[in-house]
A and B are shown apart, each in its own frame.
Chain A
Amino acid sequence: VISIRDSWVRLRTLTSAEYEELFRTEVAWHAGAGWRFAGRTPSYSEYVASLYADSIATLGVCRLDGSLLGVVIAYEPDHRSGTVWIAVMSTRQAKGSGLVLVGLGHLITELFTNWSFRVVLAESAAPAYEQFRSGMRRSFREQGRLEAHRFSDGAYHDVVYLAIEREAWMAGDGQRYLRRRAEANRAVLPPAGGSAPPARPFTVTVHR
């Protein structure tokens, strides 16, 4: 069990009540035909199982008061080659705040600190990638894009493939950028309790 906490967010295991919240978020009518299930509406049990499919870490990203902002997942580890894939999902309220990406940054640090992975891989629909690419060039290396590969919101979008290498990430640029971005977006999501969170260094706790 991994638990990570800083002055912005907390990463912890999901509760069963949160499965329902996530299911409602991802399978809602207004969410459109989600790409994860290629437009299908999965059963609730299939949905919950998908959060853990070939996963080594499925963590809720929460505000300090415990309310859920999103989920980060590390999946399909290849321990022989030292690679693992990551995924991120935000609740409707947290979209645009950048806080879930701060949580994702913690997960990446965890994967390079307490696991022996060399490279973290990610795929992202191009519209989502465009929102954070400018600040991430030093940490995320684009590996190509599958062109017009995913249909959503009435259009075909590219799918971008990214690699994050241990040395680049641990140099700190990526993590710093994610925090700056969240700070710039503070107005989107007021901090828990209605006031600015106290500044303190983040801590990582790993219970095995």
Chain B
Amino acid sequence: VSPQAAVTGWSVLSPASHGTAAHGTAAHGTAGHGEEPLPRPAGHSIGDFDIRRRLGRKGTGFFDRATGLGVIACGQAIEDSGISVGNVPSDRIGVVLGTTVGSLKSTMEFSAETLIQDRPYLVNPGLFPNTVLNCVAGQAAIWYGLKGVNATVAGGPLAMLNVLRYATRVLARGYADVLLAGVVEEFTAHAAWAAHLSGHPPAGEGAAVFVLERPEAARAAGRGVDAELLAVTTGFGRDVNGCVREVIAKAGLDSAEAGPLARAAAERQELLKLESGDCQAASGGLELAALLARQRDGQAADGALSLLTARTREGGCGAAVLRGCSRAGGYHGQRRADVPG
């Protein structure tokens, strides 16, 4: 069974880690939420996150937090891969990002303005783009000049698997050569209250972006590979275990592998939720990033298998199986420079 995609670079921004650093190297915080009251005193947000300090003032004036997180993660991921836009033609590099509802804060505030402002409702048109789901993917493409496939997949907790499925198809059908495939979720007072009032676990945030390429093309170009995606599936009204069996079979693995891999995935997800809150669309990406960080740090064996699973409250479910690759002569025990928030 030939792998469907290779991960040739990645980046994560979460309350627990930055860039390609191992888990647990960053600080929690509630910065960026001003004086707005929160349902609980501390939030699972990225401490000291300042968009303008990271991206500069020019062009970032209207960026909301989700856009900032996504644009920064995309930039770090492509830098990590060593790809320079231009060496790979810009119209062959695409962006596929997963979300739940885009920026809840931007949408709610813009809606509120239309009700609060005097006629003729002088809302700020510059803020409108933030209210649409594909804002982050669009801004990332504009920021880095990426003219390939640009797609936004709404999937809540299933988003990362939806993104992987979509991305593998785009690569297989030849619609792009390189994809920045990832997920973004922002922590705001709005998100915190939405989680609290819905009786859900405390809201978290994060962005994780993975550079995906066709495996043979990536190796032909001499790029290091962190992991290979062997199989992915998503569905509705199915059992997660059925999805797991499907990807294990598609990947040509022994069905006995399924049990231990699924248990490891469940443990990882519990731990992640405790550490980073309920990151919704970003959760699958943070999980994958945590796996890749172990791989890059030499803590996981070359060829180590991992399973990603997800289900939504509405009945969506999915699974993916990946095989980790140690980078020869590469990053064993050597961390890339952390970029502070």
Q: Do A and B bind each other?
A: no
